[in-house]
Chain A
Amino acid sequence: MKRAVAVALWLSCCVPSGAQVTYERLLHADKEPQNWLTYSGSYKSWRYSALDQIRTGNASSLELKWVYQLNAIDKFEATPLVVDGVMYFTQPPSDVIAVDGKTGRAFWTYRYTLSGNVSVCCGRVNRGLAILGDTLFLAALDGNLVALDAKTGKEVWRTRVVDPSLGYSLTMAPLVVKDKVILGPAGGEFGIRGFLAAFDARTGKEAWKFQTIPGPGEAGHETWAGDAWQHGGGPVWLTGSYDPELNLIIQGVGNPSPDWNPTVRPGDNLYASSVIALDADTGKLKWHYQFMPNDAWDWDAMQTPVIVDAEWQGQPRKLLYWANRNGVFYVLDRTNGKFLSGKPFAKVTWLAGFDENGRPKLQPNSLPTAEGTLLYPGVQGATNWYAPSYSPRTGLFYLSVWADYYSVYQEGEAEYVPGRRFNGGNIRQPLAFGRNTTLLPNEEQGYGALKALNPKTGETVWQVKFADLTEGGVLTTAGDVVFTGNREGYFQAFDARDGKLLWKASLGGYIAAGPVTFSVDGKQYVAVAAGHGMFVFGLP
């Protein structure tokens, strides 16, 4: 209560008048669909917008309004924010650009200079920003959390969060809850020790820190043997969700390190490959659920937690929907983390069912070996960090899927060297990685798809198969339109009810980001990062 009063006082006394985005606005982000105020659109992370000017009946007439071309070579994975007509997005590795939502003309550009080499597993990427008041928050690749004046792009403060020489990096969009900025580090391939930490939005001072790999004396430490916890991984590189009623931050935790050699880290390896729920004020753990105890496949739980209140077996319940990299769609009770159901949404050969606590049972011969173990899904997962969407109108859960492909998981030596890869094995697979037109997957090797799941049953209601794989995020709207992009560079609109193609545009570059929608002067727009441009569409 004291805290709440303190927050209220701070909000009233210290934010200059005319400040843009109060915590109150963030809490009710879904009530102002003209804006896109957080990475996932709202604390519930539905990526659903109440805008309905663009509908199934007129989406076919969408046309290009503007393009903003980046000055960057790295992959463009950012979800933009839109605040009262101004769009903010990151240019990889760690620049920030503010543009006019109607014209795409820039107001300002903030250039961040990396301090040196950063070890990254998967590109020098950044997925977006957070905002509170007039301040934008950027997690810069080389380990700094940076606060920027949203009006000028001038730096307000910066705080060192992690040391990049030890394999840590920052790639996620931070989450603002109340007066705190919340984020964690990437580095699950480098033997880091992960955490989720909160920083004071005004000063950048650390408020709390939850170690995802518990140390001696902390609960869960007993799930690690010897010193393995010290380099046990558990990165946090994707934005979580927040339940204001329960005051819980719900966050996925990445893979244990080394990735494919679990024999050097016997035990369940909490809280790697888990979802954790933390008290937003103190960072204390309230509950957890581990999707993959002693994960041996790098199936980290870096997916967006989707918060839905719905009936579950006849009772209204606070649910958490989670389509995991391991190929299983989970429904959990988000008051306590209790497992309610887990159903595969793609071919899965490791799972032999769940015990009464929801702990997965492994099929025999699933663990990586020196010779290699062939298993579905493959190492990229049946889905991954690609943002899913939930539409309250259809009640369906939409996601990008890599269906029915395998990897051969090979266990190898694991020697920790600071800042170096710490994989403990290798991966082989027939499926092509990267853009190469002569290498499109055969259907027998697996395929990429947009799927619509019924969250009550986990069953696929419809799917659209793509010729190539897809890393696109998904957006749904009150116009019953689903937007998503794919590796082929198509940005597409489908009917949310049956998957019928309504419209598409070939943007000529890999789409690996989540689209957003917003409106300015009463006119609805849809934006997506593709190749090295931000593309914005609207009706004529």
Chain B
Amino acid sequence: MRGLGVALLLASWAWAQAPAERLFNARVDPEQGRRLWSANCAVCHGAEGKGGRGPDLTTGQFRHGGTDDDLYRAIRNGIPGTEMPGFPLTGAESMQLLAFVRALGRAAMPTPTEGDAARGRALFAEGGQCTSCHRVGGAGSRIGPDLSDAGARLAPSDLLASLLHPDERVLPMHWYVRAVTRDGRTITGRRLNEDTYSVQLIDAQDRLVSLVKQELKEYELIKKSPMPAYEGKFTREQLGDLVAYLASLKGTP
């Protein structure tokens, strides 16, 4: 076969052909759904859907739309701007998978830790200096990941893990660039795009910067998080407050 490289095109074509009504009334086959899940999804979303490289899908909330139609498209076409690729499944297979994902989502969202979200909010904005890198609801820096919907994407346990061990899971979309120009200027920023000859980034002053690699003295892609690990820096109580605050951030629907 030509392969999956044009899965997206293929998927959109298949979508165009898919007689939606018939598929949506297909008999649910949990066994087939589980098989498809194991073969395609578990590698990123975890065997039980609790998340991993991809988000937790057991919360019943879907960041990129939770209608059958949204989920079907996400499975078939992938989600632009994320690591979620499209999968070359038949229409019927996609529907079985969708049913399986729905069943996963019936598990309740884990209860947030016993922190105080209001105190966490204050810590986030002031003492913690989080907004010098992160942005919530339109305020703060753009150089780090936008956390406006952190609570919708990550379970409290994952939020805590990110605070304690930020280097453990850094998505490629959050990698940093450190470059030194021929005249000795050092430029750092979050990588927005890169190709063979150039790289585009956003720096700490929110400037969009494009660099030609050939004109650089040094060029390094940093795959670790520039965020400090907060283990020992914040008290247990402070960490609980921060997690409670972050868990309350659900974005704007």
Binding site for B on A (CB under 8 A): 74-75, 117, 120-125, 186, 188-189, 237, 254-255, 259, 298, 300, 302, 379-381, 384-385, 410, 412, 420-421, 426-428, 432-434, 436-440, 442, 465-469, 471, 486, 488, 490, 504
Segment of B59-67, B76-84, B153-161, B228-236 in the binding face: B76-84
Residues of A within 8 A of B80 (CB): 436
B6–A75 touching, CB < 8 Å: yes
Establish whether residues A121 and B1, one from each chain, have CB atoms under 8 Å apart when the complex forms.
Answer: yes
The chain A residue sitting closest to B192, CB to CB, is: A437
B-chain residues with CB within 8 Å of residue A186 when the two chains form the complex: 2
> Are A188's CB and B196's CB within 8 A?
no
Which of B2, B81, B172, B197 sits near A123, CB closer than 8 Å? B2
Say if the beta carbon of B7 comes within 8 Å of chain A: yes
A-B contact pairs, 6 of them (CB 8 A): A117-B17, A122-B2, A380-B4, A433-B3, A438-B82, A438-B193
Known: A432-B83, A440-B194, A488-B196. A255 touches B9 (CB 8 A): no
Q: Any chain A CB within 8 A of the CB of B184?
A: no
Complex contact B4–A412 (CB within 8 A): no
Q: Which residues of the other chain, B, contact A467 by a CB distance below 8 angstroms? A: 194-196
B90 touches A385 (CB 8 A): no
B12 to chain A, nearest CB (A): 8
B108 on the A face (CB < 8 A): no
Contacts of A188 in B (CB 8 A): 1
Nearest CB in chain A to that of B81: its residue = A438
Q: Please tell me which one of the listed residues B2, B9, B194, B197 contacts residue A74 in the complex, with CB atoms under 8 A apart.
A: B9
Q: Which residues of B contact A428 (CB under 8 A)?
A: 39-40, 43
In the assembled complex, the CB of A321 is this many whole angstroms from the nearest CB of chain B, namely 22
As a 0/1 sequence over residues 15 to 50 of chain B, the CB contacts with chain A under 8 angstroms (1 = contact) are 001000000000000000001000110010000000
Task: Tell me how far the C-beta of A206 lies from the nearest C-beta in chain B, rounded to whole angstroms.
Answer: 26
- Residue among B8, B13, B85, B86 with most chain A CB within 10 A: B13
Q: In the complex, what residues of B have CB within 8 A of residue A122's CB? A: 1-6, 9-10
Additional A-B contact list (12), CB under 8 Å, known A259-B1, A434-B6, A434-B86: A120-B13, A122-B6, A122-B9, A189-B1, A298-B1, A421-B88, A428-B40, A433-B5, A436-B81, A438-B173, A465-B196, A490-B195
**Main DSSP-derived SS at the A contact region:** loop
Given B3, B39, B192, which contacts A412 in the complex, CB threshold below 8 Å?
B39
Closest to A435 in B: B8
Given contacts A420-B90, A432-B85, A490 and B196 within 8 Å (CB-CB): yes
Q: Which residues of A contact B1 (CB under 8 A)?
A: 121-122, 188-189, 254-255, 259, 298, 300
B5 touches A380 (CB 8 A): yes
Which 6 A/B pairs are nearest by Cβ-Cβ distance? A122-B2, A438-B173, A426-B39, A380-B3, A437-B193, A123-B6
Contact of A384 among B3, B173, B196 (CB under 8 A): B3
B78 / chain A contacts, CB cutoff of 8 Å:
434
A434 interface neighbour in B8, B39, B194, B223, Cβ under 8 Å? B8
For B92, give the chain A residue with the smallest CB separation: A420
Within 8 A of A (CB), among B66-108: 78, 80-83, 85-86, 88, 90
Q: Which of B10, B85, B171 contacts A121 (CB 8 A)?
A: B10
User: How long is the Cα–Cα vector from A472 to B39 in the complex, in angstroms?
Assistant: 30
In the docked arrangement, what's the CA distance between A255 and B1, Å?
7
Closest to B36 in A: A426
Q: Are A124's CB and B13's CB within 8 A?
A: yes
With both beta carbons as reference points, the residue of chain A lying nearest to B35 in the complex is identified as A412
Over the window 136-180 of chain B, the binary record of Cβ atoms lying under 8 Å from chain A Cβ atoms (1 yes, 0 no) is 000000000000000000000000000000000001110000000
CB distance from B45 to the nearest CB of A (A): 12
In the complex, are the beta carbons of B39 and A123 less than 8 A apart? no
Name A432's closest neighbour in chain B (CB-CB). Answer: B85
Chain A, Cβ-Cβ closest to B93: A421
Please give the distance in Å from A372's CB to the nearest CB on chain B.
8
**Which residues of chain B are within 8 angstroms of A438 by Cβ–Cβ distance?**
81-83, 171-173, 193
Chain A residues with CB below 8 A from B9, complex form: 74-75, 122-124
- A397 to chain B: closest CB distance in Å? 22
**Is the Cβ of A434 less than 8 Å from the Cβ of B197?**
no
Say whether A468 contacts B3, CB under 8 Å: no
A437 contacts which chain B residues (CB < 8 A)?
A: 192-194
- Interchain CB contact (< 8 A) of B197 among A421, A426, A504: A504
Considering the chains assembled together, what is the distance between the CA atoms of A520 and B71 in angstroms?
Answer: 53
Closest to A468 in B: B195
Point out the residue from B2, B4, B173 that lies within 8 Å of A427, measured CB to CB.
B4
- Given the contacts A75-B6, A433-B4, A439 and B83 also touching, CB distance less than 8 Å: yes
Would B2 and A385 count as touching, CB distance under 8 A? yes
A263, B205: Cα distance in complex, Å? 59
Q: Which residues of A contact B197 (CB under 8 A)?
A: 490, 504
Nearest residue, chain B, Cβ from A238: B2
Contacts of A471 in B (CB 8 A): 5
